[in-house]
Structure 1
Amino acid sequence: MPGLFAEVRDGEQVWRGAAGVADVATGRPVGADMRHRVGSITKTFTAAAVLRQVERGRIGLDTPIGRYLPGLVPGERGEAVTVRMLLNHTSGLAEYLPHAYSSLRAFPALADTGPQSLDDHRFTRFEATELIELGVAAPAVGTPGGTPGLYSNTNYLILGLLLEEVTGTTAERCITRDVIERAGLQDTELPTGPYLGEPHSRLYESWFGMIDPPRDYSVYDMSWVGPAASLTSTVTDLNRFFGMLLAGEIVSPSSLAQMRRTVPVVSQEGRTIEYGLGLHPMEAPGRETFWGHGGTAWGAGTLAMISADGRRRMAVAVNLQRWNALDSSGRPRPHPLDEALAAFHRAAMYG
């Protein structure tokens, strides 16, 4: 792992730490103040923005998406898939990413052992509608509302279009106004271009050992995930955001209660987890439950968690992704980094 940086809070006590380098060529050290791509933690911000519109009466959680965006999800599914199902991944809509590879040649597949598709699309701008169409056209992965759901970025791209429809502005501007600015986050944004704000680390992608040595993808247009996973932030901003969210200062307490209503969902790693509306719980047997989200982007990994009472918070970022080699069945093999990070998470959350 080239570099790791984190912030842990326990009440008024704050610890920030960093180890390793932000650039393997120069040895420039990482710092706890660095901006970082936080991947699917974006979903919590998008979900909060949707709940803010629910509170204003512009969106109904249990209203079919076809009422707002006719034809986007065609046929009976448009009347069966509700906003809540998009938020908690029980819509039955497939993930568009595998189909984006086969039809757009935009993203690497496990069978593709080279990084060429990543390099070719550093500066490509994708339209959300073309990506959504791929997920909608793919075979359904479940019935609307059925459990377990299947985690799918398609759901959150649709929610981005929903925000645009009901607010008359872009999803990025809506989330910025209603969530990022409301929380007073100074170093958090939804970028509209390929560049990270300073200071930031280089972000090294290994793609399961197929990119050797790992290559820097810190410059990358994130329109391929948009309101599902494109956010950039800092560990300090993430802890502030989740603290305010669980205190009922971003959405109302009743909206927060909706966000914490969970259903079983199969994650992208194939594990069944409990998932709410852009939030999921993390707990160890006999230990306190934490709420939050994790995320990955090319070369960037982040996890943010907060105790149910809001007292203990943790946000940690790493600048290497997919370091595991794959076994013969295509599953990532265990790696010492996995246990090292798990040990850090346990210490940060439980002391």
Structure 2
Amino acid sequence: MHSTSRLARWTTVAAATALLAALSASAAVPASAAVPASAAVPASAATTPAAESLPPLSPAVLRQAIAGLPNADVTGALVRVSGRAGHWSGTSGTADLATGRPVPADARFRIGSISKVFTATVVLQLAAEHRLDLDGTVQQYLPGLLPAGYPPVTVGELLNHTSGLPGGGGGAFWGDGSNQWFVDHRFESRPPRQVVEGLVAGQPMDFTPGTAQEYNGLNTFIAGLVVERVGGRSFAEEVRDRIIRPLGLHATSVPAVDDPRLPGPHSHGYLTVTAADGTTREADVTEQTAWPWAEGGMISSAADLDRFLTALLGGRLLPPTQQRLLFTVPDVPNHDNKNCEQGPTAGHACFSMGLMRFTFPDGTEIWGKTGSRPGYTSGMFATRGLARRLVYSFNPTGLKGAEAPYIRRVATAAFSPGAK
């Protein structure tokens, strides 16, 4: 038997909030200086001057942002900053607590919900090829998957998280959400369709489709199933032939859902567990099944994610009609979670069909995605015109976001070095 391992915490909510919550702590500005509340308005085609006229990078500040590792909260870090406005890369901490081996610069890591961007890209490509309709429904493409009483849910609503599908269902299907629970269950797996069926069973819709936005990994599991139904091949084959091979992403893969391996150079992932006598130890969770699949099961590297994000934002993977959807945030409220920006945009949507948007207090706007699996937290972000790009990977020893201060320092140093 497999449990979805606190899907809402480990592959959705924690991943999405890691960057935004961290940055929000330093994003408060006087009302007179606040950025206009435009999160619920489709982005314009042009980039703002603030987004593409960035100060020079400070290697010293970036080094300091990841200094002091390993510690009780984070064992290792890998950061890559690139783009026309400057380059820097660095590592900190250790890849292996037993040997003290340093974090390899070419490390592969579990990218968690960054997988969603690959999935959305394939769906948008299929739409561009007129093989699926974004206004077509899940009930049309996957009859019988959703409960009969559910209203029609479109493929587009899956991609921009306005589906209204249950975001917290599953009951005992989740486990208890503890470090020890995951250590004990990390080799279990279940086919994607069974994951979906288990999450919707007996659960009501959260809201009417299209009326709000709620970041929800269930949406992307279903989108992956739509890809397989429409494409007639496995999701892994579609991603391989449409993205991985054309871009030469040699460190990127879609493992089988029951495959626990992390091949190639990598840092170990650990979770702190407490024994009955109160002593603690770091349990190695590097090997864990890739059951999150199209929603969060992929493996990649910083160089590969940088190349993928550059190609995606640069228009190499999608024609103009679908490219615009990457930067179109629906004009709806954010429903009952904290995955979107605080301050002037609080309460509004921040996800497009594949990406998430964050705006710094100085007006710098970035687009990308976070990801998280136990032992691994990562992100890829860039300014709209690609003048600056950031990819990071941290190895936290818990599931409650203790790595957030490091993410805040790295992202601020990369994109908004004047922020305090």
**What TM-score do you get using the length of structure 1 for normalisation?**
0.87
Is residue 304 of structure 2 the alignment partner of residue 237 of structure 1? yes
Question: Which has the larger Rg?
Answer: 2
- Residue 81 (structure 1) aligned to one of 153, 163, 176: 153
Question: Which string of whole-angstrom CA distances, capped at 9 and with x for unpartnered residues, describes residues 158-204 of structure 1?
Answer: 11110110111111111121122222211111111110111011112
1:285 matched to 2:361: yes
Relative to structure 1, is the Cα distance of residues 219 and 94 closer, same or farther in structure 2, using a 3 angstrom cutoff?
Answer: same
> Partners in 2 of 1:3 and 1:120 — Cα distance?
23
Q: Is 1:169 aligned to 2:233, yes or no? A: yes
Contact 1:93 1:135 in 2 (8 A): no
| Residue pair 1:204, 1:216 contacting (<8 A) in 2 also | yes
Q: Deviations over 1:264-308 (max 9, x none)?
A: 445865555511011011111223211000010011000110101
Structure 2: gaps spanning 5 or more residues: 1-73, 341-346
My pick for the range that moved more, 287-296 or 267-276, is 267-276
Q: Partners in 2 of 1:66 and 1:211 — Cα distance?
A: 51
Instruction: Report the alpha carbon displacement of residue 92 of structure 1 after superposing the two structures with TM.
Output: 1.1
Task: Give, as a single letter, the amino acid of the residue that structure 1 aligns with 2:363.
Answer: R
Residue 89 of structure 2: aligned partner: 16
Alignment counterpart, residue 187 of structure 1, candidates 248, 251, 255: 251
Q: Distance in 2 between matches of 1:254 and 1:206?
A: 47
Which runs of structure 2 are paired with 1:108-119 in the superposition (5 Å)? 108-110=175-177, 113=178, 115=180, 117-119=181-183
Partner of 1:226: 293
**The one of 151, 172, 181 aligned to 1:102:** 172
Please name the residue that 2:210 is paired with. Answer: 145
Q: Is the 8 A contact 2:382 2:389 kept in 1?
A: yes
How far off is 1:85 after superposition?
0.7
- Of stretches 128-137 and 81-90 in structure 1, the one that deviates more from structure 2 is 128-137
Structure 1 pair 207–41 and aligned structure 2 pair: CA distance change class (3 A): farther
Asked if the contact 2:75/2:397 (under 8 Å) is kept, the reply is no
1:350 matched to 2:416? The reply is yes
Q: Identify which of 327, 351, 361 aligns with 1:275.
A: 351
Distance across 2 between alignment mates of 1:231 and 1:92: 25
Shift of 1:12: 7.6
1:200 and 2:272 correspond: no
- The percentage of aligned residue pairs carrying the same residue is 30
1:250, CA displacement in angstroms?
Answer: 1.1
Partner of 2:247, secondary structure, is coil
Task: Give runs of aligned pairs for residues 297-316 of structure 1, distance below 5 A.
Answer: 297-316=373-392
Runs of 4+ residues deviating >6 angstroms? 207-211
Return the TM-score normalized by structure 2.
0.73
Q: Which one-letter code corresponds to 1:25 in the other structure?
A: A
Shift of 1:205: 2.5
Contact kept, 8 Å, 1:208 with 1:322, in 2: the verdict is no
Q: After superposition, what is the alpha-carbon deviation per residue over 1:72-105, rounded to whole angstroms, capped at 9, x for unaligned?
A: 1233535x20001111111111136x61x614xx
Partners of 2:294 and 2:339 lie apart in 1 by: 23
For 2:165 and 2:199, how far apart are their aligned partners in 1?
A: 6
Query: 2 CA distance for matches of 1:56 and 1:93?
Result: 27
Report the aligned-residue RMSD.
Answer: 2.4
Q: Taking structure 1 as reference, are residues 185 and 270 closer, same or farther at Cα in structure 2, changes over 3 Å only? A: closer
The size of the alignment, in residue pairs, is 330
| Structure 1, 295-304 or 126-135: larger mean CA deviation | 126-135
The alpha-carbon deviation at position 208 of structure 1 amounts to: 11
* 8 Å CA contact 1:203, 1:298 repeated in 2: yes
Partner of 2:125: 52
Structure 2 letter corresponding to 1:194 = P
The residue that corresponds to 2:224 in the other structure is: 160
Partners of 2:411 and 2:133 lie apart in 1 by: 36
Give the drift of 1:339: 2.7
**Higher RCO by CA contacts (8 Å cutoff, separation 6 or greater):** 2
Report the 3-state secondary structure (helix = DSSP H, G, I; strand = E; otherwise coil) of the residue aligned with 2:281: coil
Are 2:179 and 2:398, in contact at CA under 8 Å, matched by a contact in 1? no
Structure 1 position 237, deviation (Å): 0.8
Q: Relative to 1, partners in 2 of residues 1:212 and 1:345: Cα closer, same or farther, differing over 3 Å?
A: farther
Match of 1:127 in 2: 191
Q: CA deviation at 1:255?
A: 0.8
Which of 241, 249, 254 aligns to 2:316? It is: 249
